[in-house]
Amino acid sequence: MSNTREIVASAPGKVNLHLGVGNARADGYHELVTVFQAVERRERVRIVVEDESACVESGSVVVGMQTHFHVDVPDEDIDTPRNLTWRAVDAVVDAVRARSGVQGLSLPKAKLVVDKHVFVAGGMAGGSADAAAGLVAANAYVERYCGERLSEEDLYDLAVGLGADVPFALHGHTALGTGRGDALVEVLGRGTYWWVFCNPKIGISTGKAFETLDDLRHDNPALVPHLDTAALSQALVTGDPRELAKHLHNDLEAAAVAMRPRIAALITRIESETELVARAIVSGSGPTIAALCFDEEAARALETVLRDNVEGVEVFCTSGPSAGAQLEA
């Protein structure tokens, strides 16, 4: 009989309903005003303990990691502490050890298994979702094996240190993000929105997207930051995708299209399905395109249309908003 124990947590991918990009800051980030919506397409992180008697008293408890891609990327082993999910688990363990004051707090060795359902480097913050799920799973792990756990505020502080999108993946639902996007305020809304995400599988570096936007603005002063989200917030209260569609905006879309012109053609193709689609925009820094549909039936129909008729893309439909990172088992 196997003595393997697993702790499973999940966290949502996201779409930026609004992404306004301000000036670059001294720390290299840009000032952002963004409205995130979490979607039901979720990443899952498993902490697997195969032998509870094999413990470590210092350093990382993680002895290995494997990522399973449920999108069009081959499985691979990522056995490095630099991985964001690994770092998230280490951060929780280190924080509990520091708070407990126990020298050599003994914890069992563990392996991480990540199931990726969100496009990789696709503008949906899949890596941040992995990290958020890792924080929640690690918190349950330390509680199981040493009786300690971190508060939600503690986890948020760790999330901020891991990356700008990690706090929202922890939070979920719909939220206004400012600063780097990590200072969050919940945004009230009504209803469920159905999305189709279309990835043309042409990579875009997030850093390069911001650099490109800076260059475009230097050459074209008309490309000013859009930092007002009031109309979008009002539209969310209606629960009407047609009303929300009027106010979707992404400052980085200009950069994504400049870097990968095929994105503009795909947006035009998607929006030609006028019976199904209210609006299509670039998600985050791209290259993924997020199509807001009229309802679930329309979203599933659009998913089929794109999968059957557009070459070189990967497509899925899902809904939002969705809960933040949470335990599943």
- Asked whether 39 and 17 are in contact (CB, 8 A), the reply is no
What is the set of active-site residues?
14, 165
CA distance 42 to 10: 6
Residue 36 and residue 187 in contact, taking contact as beta carbons nearer than 8 Å: no
Alpha helices in 226-295, H assignment, sequence order:
230-238, 241-245, 253-259, 262-271
Q: b/e for 171-186, b at 16 or more Cβ within 10 A?
A: bbbbbbbbebbbebee
Residue 206, exposed/middle/buried by CB under 10 A (0-12, 13-18, 19+)?
Answer: middle
Rounded CA gap, 57 and 311, in Å? 52
Give dist(CA 120, CA 37) in Å, integer.
Answer: 18
On whether the CB atoms of residues 20 and 226 are closer than 8 A, the answer is: yes
323 DSSP β-pair partners: 172
Question: Where does residue 164 rank: exposed (0-12), middle (13-18), buried (19+ CB within 10 A)?
Answer: buried
CA 12 to chain centre: 6
End-to-end CA distance of the chain: 20
Scored b (16 or more CB within 10 A) or e, 213-240 reads beebbeeeeebebeeebeebbebbeeeb
